[in-house]
Structure 1
Amino acid sequence: MIRLDDVAIFVQTVDSGSFSLAARQMHISPGLASSAVQRLEKALGARLFVRSTRTMHLTDTGTRYLPHARAMLAALAAGQHALQREGDAVAGPLRLSAPSDFGRNLLAPWLDAFQKQHPAVSIELRLSDRAVDLFSQPLDAAIRYGAPADSGLVLMPLAPDNRRTLCAAPSYITRHGRPTELDDLTRHNCLRFIWADQVHERWRFFPPSERAGERVVEVRGDRISDDGDVARRWAIDGHGIVYKSRIDVVDDLRAGRLVELVPSAWCEPAPLNLLTAHRPAAASSVQQLRDFLRARCLEHLSRI
């Protein structure tokens, strides 16, 4: 029997980087934190951490289990939140901005399900890969990748462990070959897109062999779009290699429409967040949406 307290300690240990720091944050002893993770490992029949006297890091099994653990805790929090707010009507307009690819292919159908749970909510959805000013625009929240430049915004993580992925269609690989090294990307047709008014053409990677910690490859290609969904569709049609948020291409990878070209651990982090300028009139709806979307994101990423 897996105890949710043990799962929570496991996730906190990952986020903190050590048993002692996790224990301090959770107001328990380091020994209790260590015992909880050992108990979870025994229940799962697998090691989650590789430990030494100075370091501790996730095993491959631990890395695969982490999104499921986060999803369990998110579902628990969502249930508790729903009970706490039982009787509170979530109603009124909810005005959102989201990236084009995520918004069109994932968020839109998820909002259908959200409205079924809260039929008194009306949705206004604006899709754009440009940064929006939540203080000047008539928006209650925005979904964006990475940390906001404006520290006055409230950041609520939806998929904190999301990363980019380097991928291409099997048809492209058949015609042009598969890059065997990151520098090979300079000889391939790379599909670029505009994000926050800048062409995303300096692709960052974190291979374990890189002494500097990261490798930046400046890529070129014959197609650029200001819509991330267009770049993804070009890749599926075999026009080149794309470096996209992994959450956007999970279904394409599962179906074989796209193939990952390097390990996901090498790719640039792309945490997905819900941002708000904290408008009190929409606070309840935004919090409910945050819990709903976080559970959906974690479940979606755990499918591959």
Structure 2
Amino acid sequence: MKVKLVSESFLIRGTFTISRGSRTHANVVVVELQQGEYIGRGECVPYARYGESIESVLAELETLVAKIESGLTREQMQSLLPAGAARNALDCAYWDLACKQQGQRIWERIPVAQPISLTTAFTLSLDKPERMKKAAIDNAHRPLLKLKLAGEGDIARVTAVREGSPKARIIVDANEGWDEALYIEIVPELVKLGVEMIEQPFPADNDAALEHLPRPITLCADESCHDRTSLPKIIGRYDMINIKLDKTGGLTEALELKKAAQQANLQIMVGCMLATSLAMAPAFVIAQGVDVVDLDGPLLLAEDRESPFTFTESLMHVCDAELWG
């Protein structure tokens, strides 16, 4: 086995802004595992919110290179890295390599039903209401819009988007930007505007208030949900979880988290960091049959990988084996 670790950067269409800041590039880490003629790949996005950087993720992975090249298995690796971006890229590379060696698609190996095309949400970047309205008009043909919010001015932002795209379903992502007073003020207005889901209204370490606040709109845990160990605190506070492979630490744990969440009667969203089609491919497998799909990363990029996902507007089609799995 040979291991290759690289960092890459992909240009975003315009600027992507959330409550924590703006970006013009998607910066990713890719793991390649080569055994003979076969190469498996996995991609991750280091996220500063979780104390990660390109450098820290590469350093984490470097600690295992010798063990991987000496025969470390995917199953053995799970306990050697924490849930997070580094383990995700390595875990997905193991899965991809196994698929290529055995001549199987990923759904045959897990196994699950052969996947079908999925409709993904399309994200509108945080901005002034008038600019978000323009973005909503430009994307009014899309069936599901996800709005990045920040706190102050959010009612005006959602109102503007609803005016610009009156027929679209709308979900919103506060990215931990609200407090209890704002929640009480804003939620009734969002009900009137037809918002179907609110993602992570409060900071992950300060969301206990959700146990006693009304939930007329579905609440989804993002930063509060990483892997199966997150579930005990989520039940009673949220109605839905957002599964992201960069949080679960790969496809292996994501499969188990999905199963556990379903057993707990939680709704499921499958989301992504801002990344290429390579990162979307394993998430696409997890996203089969869930309540909300948010895998629009490639649609937000000005450039993508070879053999990328094909989209018909917001409809995401099954990827080729050349990409992953």
- Given the two structures, how large is their TM-score scaled by the length of structure 2? 0.24
The structure showing larger relative contact order (alpha-carbon pairs under 8 Å, at least 6 residues apart) is 1
Higher share of residues assigned helix = 1
